[in-house]
Amino acid sequence: MKKEKISSVNVRSFNTTANTIFNIVIALFAISCVIPFIFVIIISLTSENSLASNGYSFFPKEISTSAYTYLFSGTMSTKILRALGVTVFVTVFGTIVNATLTSLYAYVISRSNFPYKKFFTVFALITMLFTPGMVANYLVMTNLLHLKDTIWALILPSALGPFNILVMRTFFIKTIPDSIIESAKIDGATELKIFRSIVLPLAVPGIATISLFAALGYWNDWFNALLYVQNDNLVPLQYLLIKIQNNLEYLSSNSGMSAQLEGGLAALPSESARMAIVVISTLPIVLTYPFFQKYFVGGLTIGGVKE
């Protein structure tokens, strides 16, 4: 009896010690992920003269908002706000389109009574392993679909992804049993009503997961704009920030152009502006992610839970 009590006490103390160690490790890892972003914000609020004389520091000697003033002043402010509106629209509408198409495709191939599920599953898998290439994509988008310089050129290339399809397929198989579907069919429900009234409410964690993947992809996308967009009114935020950064690097490296600027290179917040660009491009996602975190974790782990 005493041995059993001693062993139970040892197990409890071991579990407590192990939990403490793991919590400390996870806390350190979380801090290591947050500190770089905080450091970027500090650098973006440091004056250019302080960066030139003292370098990067967590405690800058001179605080300045010149980088943000440069980015949000005059015509630059109008361009950034317009690009932000384009990015928000593409992200929201593109995420809705992606989640809708992915859920429909994945639900169909997850049903055991669908006769062509193997073909469409292999078809999705092949498109993930083998891609047609940039030239073929460009020819299809411009010559076949005629989507150059349209908002659809920023939405349709990422409207359906094989990875999200396979994630949702696994989610539907693990979460939606065939017995529920059969019961609904016996009650006279159509396939569309079953999907809308039964499947979608149960699939919220999975849909939130793929929606987060799609939103991140649309928000960070600049390559499609580089290929298909020449109209300044359709330029998304990421591509515009890349163009601003390239212009800053060009002006900084070209002494002749720099001399024409009022105040020379000192008036140009090149280093702090780069960090301000990073803050502007990542801050909305950083603020939005916590609201989707529980769905994101639940959607990724649902396939690994065995009943």
Q: Which of 125, 131, 129 is nearest to 169 (CA)?
A: 125
Mean pLDDT, residues 270-281 taken together? 78
Q: Report phi then psi at 163, rounded to 5.
A: -65, -45
Mean pLDDT, residues 45-73 taken together? 78
* Poorest-pLDDT segment among 10-14, 109-113, 160-164, 276-280: 10-14
The answer on pLDDT for 212 being more than 60 is yes
Q: Cα–Cα distance between 232 and 116 in angstroms, integer? A: 44
In the structure, how many helices (H) and strands (E) does the chain have? Answer: 15, 0
The answer on pLDDT for 93 being more than 90 is yes
Indicate the burial class of 170 (C-beta count within 10 angstroms; 0-12, 13-18, 19 or more). middle
The mean pLDDT of the chain is 79
Contact (Cβ atoms closer than 8 angstroms) between residue 257 and residue 251:
yes
Amino acid at 192: L
Stated length of the chain: 307
The answer on pLDDT for 307 being more than 50 is no
Question: Cα–Cα distances in Å, from 253 out to 49, 184, 247, 258, 274?
Answer: 17, 68, 10, 8, 15
The answer on pLDDT for 193 being more than 70 is yes
Find the angle CA(287)-CA(289)-CA(290) to the nearest 5 degrees: 85
The reported pTM is 0.76
| Higher-pLDDT residue of 42, 131 | 42
Question: Cα–Cα distances in Å, from 84 out to 171, 241, 268, 287?
Answer: 33, 10, 23, 16
Q: Which of 37, 85, 93 is nearest to 218 (CA)?
A: 93
Distance linking the first and last C-alpha atoms of the chain? 35
